Amino acid sequence: MDKADFLLWSRKYDKAFGWQAQRERELGAKFRKQKALTVKDLAAVVEWKFKQEPEKKQRALELVARNTEEKVQRVTSQTLSLPQADDTYRINCLTTLEGISPVLASAILAFFDPHNYGIFDQRVWKPLLGNAPAGLYTPQNYVRLLAAMRKTAAKHNLDARTIDKALYKKSLDETG
């Protein structure tokens, strides 16, 4: 794919997932302004990610609700205030929160900094890195995926999130 293809597929994603795209922009702006999250913010990320999967959503919401406001504030402010932080450290910090998997941590980081982060998904892994290994959703594999996303983004002078959205939507359309 070239730059025009990535931009086209990213726009198709935004059109197909209008509610999610809008919510992502709203949450991203809020996270960048506050540089910390609340339990309610974590729940909003869960709602966004698992909108179409009620069982997963309910379970994740129950886990997220176990976090104290103080812990969420402390962990997220520490994670988001670091300048160009070590990605493994960022993911590991966020996943210390109840209910926050590497996938949900990737969504938080992608909302906060779409230039450098994308969402951890098998549909994005495959075109960049080939067949996914067993036990794909680990912090280490997310860091591998980020490196591939960023390399592709840099090549085309685009954001990592643009690459991510384009590959996700293209995969979705091609596999049904």
163 pLDDT higher than 80 = yes
Whole-number percent of the chain with pLDDT over 90: 94
CB 142 within 8 A of CB 91: yes
Q: What integer is the mean pLDDT of 27-35?
A: 96
Alpha-carbon gap, residue 78 to 94, rounded angstroms: 10
In whole angstroms, what is the distance from residue 143 CA to residue 147 CA? Answer: 6
Q: Look at residue 64 in the predicted model and tell me its pLDDT.
A: 97
Contacts of 125 (CB under 8 A, 6+ apart): 132, 136, 141, 145
The confidence score (pLDDT) of residue 176 equals 65
DSSP 52-118: T-HHHHHHHHHHHTTS-HHHHHHHHHHHHHSTT--HHHHHHHHTTSTT--HHHHHHHHHHH-TTT--
CA dist 95 and 101 (Å) reads 6
| pLDDT band with cut points at 50, 70 and 90 for residue 92 | very high
- Report the alpha-carbon distance of residue 113 to residue 97 in Å, rounded: 20
129-151 pLDDT per residue, tens: 999 999 999 999 999 999 999 99
The residue to which tokens 């070590």 are assigned: 86
pLDDT reported for residue 14: 96
Res. 120: pLDDT tops 90: yes
**pLDDT above 70 coverage of the chain, percent:** 98
| pLDDT score for 33 | 96
Q: What is the pLDDT of residue 50?
A: 94
Does residue 10 have a pLDDT over 80? yes
Q: Span 81-88, mean pLDDT?
A: 79
Q: Cα–Cα distance between 62 and 54 in angstroms, integer?
A: 12
CA distance 176 to 147: 27
**What was the pLDDT predicted at 82?**
80
- Mean pLDDT to the nearest integer, 104-125: 96
For the chain, give the mean pLDDT. Answer: 95
Q: Token digits for 79?
A: 């994670």
In the chain, domain spans: 3-175
Q: Is the pLDDT confidence value at 31 over 90?
A: yes
At residue 84, the pLDDT reads: 66
